[in-house]
Amino acid sequence: MQSVEINKNEIGYKQENYEMFKRNNYYKRVRLVKRIVSHIVLIIFSIFAIFPIYYVFITSLNPIGSLGDATLKDLLPTAKASLYNYYSIIFRHPFLLWLRNTLFLTTTSTLIGLALAIISGLAFSRFRIPAKHALLYTLLILTLFPFTMLVIPFYFMFAELHLLNTFIGLIIPYSAFSLIYATYLIKTYVDNIPKDYEEAAQMDGLSRRGALFRILVPMAKPVIIFSLIIAFMGPYTDYALAGQFLTSPGKYTMAIGMYYISQGTITVNYGVYSAFAVLMGIPIFIVFFVFQKYLVSGFSLSTYK
């Protein structure tokens, strides 16, 4: 009698085991299919993402007279591939002048904007400033306003101040925009840093201000670098403002040069044009690549708020 029962139990156990095995196998197969689908989706998106960059890079190496001459054969490096287009854009066109103007404008306005943004971002986060929430809402709501609403008045304001066609006239709005944007980013990031660090530093004899700036600035490094990149990007590629403000060719930036080349005002070979695009894009791309990890950590959309 007893032995029969044991036998039954054993059979039951085996059946359960078999079912578990089956279920496990099913899960494994589902997981495998999921993995394969994931990789296919990611590969398609990667090709989509990279193709235009590959295209402009490869056309910059091949000698192509105009866009109409371009064929599918140009998608692979041909025997005639050379760096001649790069030589041509650098030494036959005012590229170096445009580069100098652009770098001067971008670095000055980024540094001014960021330095002020660090101070005000920290203050917004840590001090009990009157009307703080109203101010922060205002900063957010200002993003609703189209910049054409600003460009037209700016044009007349700066004309009145005789700042049109000068670099100062552009540095002011550029650094102002990066100031607003970066203040907001730094404030939200610093909010997530616990106050214990500064309190400990104050115990060790630092003043409140000293504790804030000496402790929090190094801790906010990811968001500072993130805002630095974003702030650099704006003036570097700005056409809407610079195109209206700067009128003498000696003051053109790379973006204006690029626009005129693409519109045919300044005629160059198609290959040369591509070389210009690559040369203008590469510096920003390197910066992004080097600071890649800060791009994710710079956003501070934490879940529990």
Partner 1 sequence: MEQGIKSFNLMDKIKGNPIVRKITNSRFYKKYEWKAIIYILPVLIVLAVLNFYPIAYTIYISFTNFNEVHFYRFVLVGFSNYAYVLSTSNLYTIIENTLVWSFGSTAVMVPAGFMLALIMNQRGLRGKYLYRSMFLFPWAFPAFITILVWSNMLAYNGGVINEIINVFGFRSIAWLTSPKYAMISLILVNFWLSFPYYTFVYTSAVQSIPSELYEAAEMDGYGSFKTLTGVTLPLLRRQIAFVTIFGFIFTWNNFYVPFLLTSGGPGISTQILITYSYLEAFSYDNFSLAAAYSVFSILILLVFVIIANHYSKMMQVVY
Q: Which of residues 31-70 bind partner 1 (CB under 8 A)?
A: 34-35, 38-39, 41-42, 45-46, 48-50, 52-53, 55-56, 66-70
Question: What number of chain residues touch partner 1 (CB under 8 A)?
Answer: 92
Site for partner 1 contains 288 (CB under 8 A):
yes
Residue among 11 and 240 whose Cβ is closer to partner 1: 240
Least distance in angstroms from the C-beta of 241 to partner 1: 11
Residue among 9 and 302 whose Cβ is closer to partner 1: 302
Residue among 91 and 289 whose Cβ is closer to partner 1: 289
Least distance in angstroms from the C-beta of 56 to partner 1: 5
Residues 246-275 that bind partner 1 (CB under 8 A): 255, 258-259, 262, 270, 274
Helix axes 168-191, 95-126, angle to 10 degrees: 40
Which segment (93-101, 103-111, 153-161, 193-201) binds partner 1 by CB under 8 A? 153-161
CA angle, 232 as apex, 192 and 216 as ends, to 5°?
25
Residues 212-251 that bind partner 1 (CB under 8 A): 233, 236-237, 239-240, 244
- Which candidate, 56, 51, 84, places its Cα nearest to that of 282? 56
d(Cα 215, Cα 194) in Å, to the nearest integer? 11
Q: Phi and psi dihedrals of 128, rounded to 5?
A: -85, 85
Q: How many CB atoms lie within 10 A of CB 90?
A: 14
Among 176, 193, 206, 219, binds partner 1 (CB under 8 A): 176
CA angle, 74 as apex, 72 and 79 as ends, to 5°?
135
Least distance in angstroms from the C-beta of 24 to partner 1: 14
Residues 78-107 that bind partner 1 (CB under 8 A): none
Residue among 21 and 147 whose Cβ is closer to partner 1: 147
Q: Check if the beta carbon of residue 276 is closer than 8 Å to that of residue 225.
A: no
**How many helices (H) and strands (E) would you count in the chain?**
14, 0
131 torsion bin: left (phi>0), alpha (psi -120 to 50), beta (else): left
